[in-house]
């Protein structure tokens, strides 16, 4: 296990290096640069000042030279400054990561138990009314657009009923925990709704296959209750394929957070990356996208380790 984990971590380092190069090149090929953005905001800048600023930001050098300088600085802990916020990149991404982490962790903790229960109920009698009802809800979760659902919830619970705030902007680290929870309710509900649907479909399909296995028939023949058979024997084995789905679905959940953060005015990772790309903020966009890559690689490693925990027959080499 230790040897496998070490090997995967080394692979992750290599992939991160390659991705940093590709992202740097792709972002560098975008039209415009940070200095041109500053010129739009202050057209009185002289050509001499513009040349000095280009030299300061390094945009007058080749892409490979700029990448070499950035990589050297990054390895020494300097990830650069944001040309939009005029702050170090880490000072901007730190609160954004915490903001998005709150949403994603809460969504996962709520979505997984709901998907497990609904998927198991639907798989017990495929084609029955319970299965049809759960499948209808799952397809609605997959089909409805996120921005539309967010707006409907805001209109109903914020504008009409006045029960919940329509904005998530007060979600600050130093805000009272009660205020943070209240402002997170609607965003978490939206993300959970869209995350549960695909999970329910995968749990249902995997459970149907598992319930027809020989070991399940043996458990029933021993006189075990249906609840014990489903929850203790079938569900654990059905969750093994779900681990990959959860790991790969984390990226789509992160993308969904972009819509939710935009609608609810929350300055999370998705919103920061979107704004940095729109404003040609090279350093912020690069580090933000690179961080998203690292999170995806880490979730994939956790999925492989979870395989061995769920099924002792699986060995990691």
Question: Kindly report the CA angle at 65 between 62 and 68, in degrees rounded to 5?
Answer: 150
Query: In the prediction, which pLDDT does 199 show?
Result: 83
The model's confidence at residue 169, banded by pLDDT at 50, 70 and 90, is low
pLDDT tens profile 219-274: 777 777 767 777 666 776 777 667 767 766 666 666 667 778 777 777 777 778 77
pLDDT tens profile 172-231: 556 667 777 777 888 888 888 888 888 888 888 877 777 777 777 777 777 777 677 776
- How far apart (Å, rounded) are the C-alpha atoms in residues 210 and 125? 13
Domains and CATH numbers, the chain: 1-89 (no CATH), 90-310 (1.10.3720.10)
Q: What is the mean pLDDT of the chain?
A: 75
Query: In the prediction, which pLDDT does 254 show?
Result: 66
Query: In the prediction, which pLDDT does 173 show?
Result: 54
pLDDT at position 142 over 60: yes
pLDDT tens profile 144-161: 877 788 888 888 888 888
Query: In the prediction, which pLDDT does 315 show?
Result: 59
pLDDT at position 309 over 70: no
Closest of 312, 307, 127 to residue 208, by C-alpha: 127
Query: In the prediction, which pLDDT does 159 show?
Result: 82
pLDDT at position 162 over 60: yes
**Is the pTM value of this prediction over 0.75?**
no
pLDDT at position 24 over 70: yes
Distance set, CA 69 to CA 27, 74, 286 (Å): 16, 9, 14
Half-sphere exposure at residue 301, Cβ-oriented, CA atoms within 13 angstroms: 18
The model's confidence at residue 89, banded by pLDDT at 50, 70 and 90, is confident
Closest of 70, 72, 81 to residue 23, by C-alpha: 70
- How far apart (Å, rounded) are the C-alpha atoms in residues 262 and 249? 20
The model's confidence at residue 35, banded by pLDDT at 50, 70 and 90, is low
- How far apart (Å, rounded) are the C-alpha atoms in residues 172 and 101? 13
């Amino acid at each position: 296990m230790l040897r496998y984990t070490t090997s995967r971590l080394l692979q992750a380092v290599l992939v991160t290096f390659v991705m940093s190069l590709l992202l740097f090149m792709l972002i560098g090929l975008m039209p415009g640069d940070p200095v041109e953005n500053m010129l739009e905001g202050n057209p009185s800048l002289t050509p001499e000042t513009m040349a000095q600023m280009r030299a300061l930001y390094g945009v007058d050098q080749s892409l490979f030279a700029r990448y070499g300088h950035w990589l050297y600085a990054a390895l020494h802990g300097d990830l650069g400054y944001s040309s939009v916020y005029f702050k170090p990149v880490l000072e901007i991404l730190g609160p954004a990561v915490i903001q998005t982490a709150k949403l994603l962790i809460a969504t996962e903790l709520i979505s997984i138990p709901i998907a497990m229960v609904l998927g198991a109920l639907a798989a017990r009698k495929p084609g029955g009314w319970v299965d049809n009802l759960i499948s209808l809800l799952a397809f609605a979760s997959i089909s409805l657009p996120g921005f539309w659902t967010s707006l409907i919830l805001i209109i109903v619970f914020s504008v009409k009923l006045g029960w919940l705030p329509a904005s998530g902007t007060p979600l600050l680290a130093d805000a009272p925990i009660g205020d943070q929870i209240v402002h997170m309710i609607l965003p978490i509900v939206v993300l959970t709704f869209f995350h549960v649907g695909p999970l329910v479909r995968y749990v249902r399909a995997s459970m149907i296959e598992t319930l027809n296995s020989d070991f399940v028939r043996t458990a029933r023949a021993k006189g075990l209750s249906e609840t014990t058979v489903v929850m203790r024997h079938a569900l654990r084995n059905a969750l093994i394929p779900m681990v990959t789905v959860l790991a790969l679905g984390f990226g789509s959940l992160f993308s969904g957070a972009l819509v939710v953060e935009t609608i609810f005015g929350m300055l999370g990772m998705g919103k920061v990356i979107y704004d940095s790309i729109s404003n040609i903020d090279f350093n912020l966009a690069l580090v933000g996208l690179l961080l998203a890559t690292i999170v995806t690689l880490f979730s994939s490693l956790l999925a492989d380790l979870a395989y061995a925990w769920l099924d002792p027959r699986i060995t990691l080499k």
